[in-house]
Amino acid sequence: MRAKATKERTSLPDQEFTALLVVDVQYDFLPGGALGVPDGDQILAPLSRLLSSNVFPLIVATQDWHPPNHVSFASNHRDKQPMDRIMLYGHEQTLWPDHCIQGTHGAKLHPGPDWTKVAAIIRKALDPTTDSYSAIRNNWNPRGVRPPTGLAGYLKNRRIERIFVCGLALDFCVKWTAEDAIDEGFEVTVIWDLCRAIDSSASEYVRHDLAERGVEVVTLADLFEAVK
Ligand SMILES: [Zn+2]
């Protein structure tokens, strides 16, 4: 199904209340990185085009930002390998290779896209006990709740009603962010070709799940066409 971005929805003045959220475009999530997303580098050039356009008056980026003793690292669990799954606080948790450790090269935003216009960078998963796929809420903590990152409050304070999401990885941080943003009452659109998945077979179920939750999907071409 071709994604729809109608002229009415994306033209002015709606743009005033619209933000772009760029998820985790960090060295470690790019090919060659500690948790490289296949073909993740292919989003860099089109993302640069989008960031240097004036389509979005507010742009927010996220950074996965773990301490070395983070619970999501397989290396912090006895006899576990990256990609193993465990039950953590009553929910399934994938264990990852060490990645995006605070202050390291791998945690840096890739310098290809021009980040100059980004108003805020939200760092997530700083708590060693709790992962955070979503930019809106952390995964479950030891008390079984998902603490907010504060981003929803920031966006609401900026009177944002609609969010476009793109970045890495589609099947984890982008998907969770989009779904949480829906739960927070935002209209949410994923820019499909500005995302790549860790699991290349994930596209189909992610598209299905997003549609079921009311998340719209567009291409970058749709978006540029709609705001022309
Ligand atoms: Zn992480």
Cut 0.85: pTM above it: yes
Q: How far apart are CA 228 and CA 222, in angstroms?
A: 10
pLDDT at 171 over 60: yes
Average pLDDT over residues 131-153: 96
Question: Distance from the CA of 131 to the center of ligand 1, in angstroms?
Answer: 7
Is 114 tagged catalytic?
no
Catalytic residue flag (residue 173):
yes
Instruction: Give residue 127 CA to ligand 1 midpoint distance, Å.
Output: 11
What is the tally of structural domains in the chain? 1
Contacts of 174 (CB under 8 A, 6+ apart): 23, 165, 166, 167, 168, 190, 195
Answer yes or no: is 226 within a domain.
no
What is the structure's pLDDT at 200? 87
Note whether residue 197 is domain-resident: yes
CATH code: domain of residue 34: 3.40.50.850
Domain extent, residue 199, equals 13-212
Query: Does residue 9 carry a pLDDT above 60?
Result: no
pLDDT value at position 16?
A: 79
Compute, in angstroms, the gap from residue 82 CA to the centroid of ligand 1: 12
- Arithmetic mean of pLDDT over the chain: 93
Q: Reply yes or no on whether 183 is catalytic.
A: no
Residue 204: φ, ψ to 5°: -65, -50
pLDDT at position 42 over 90 = yes
Confidence of residue 98 (pLDDT cuts 50, 70, 90): very high
For residue 69, tell me if it sits in a domain: yes
Residue 152 forms part of a structural domain? yes
Options 173, 180, 193, 222, the catalytic residue? 173
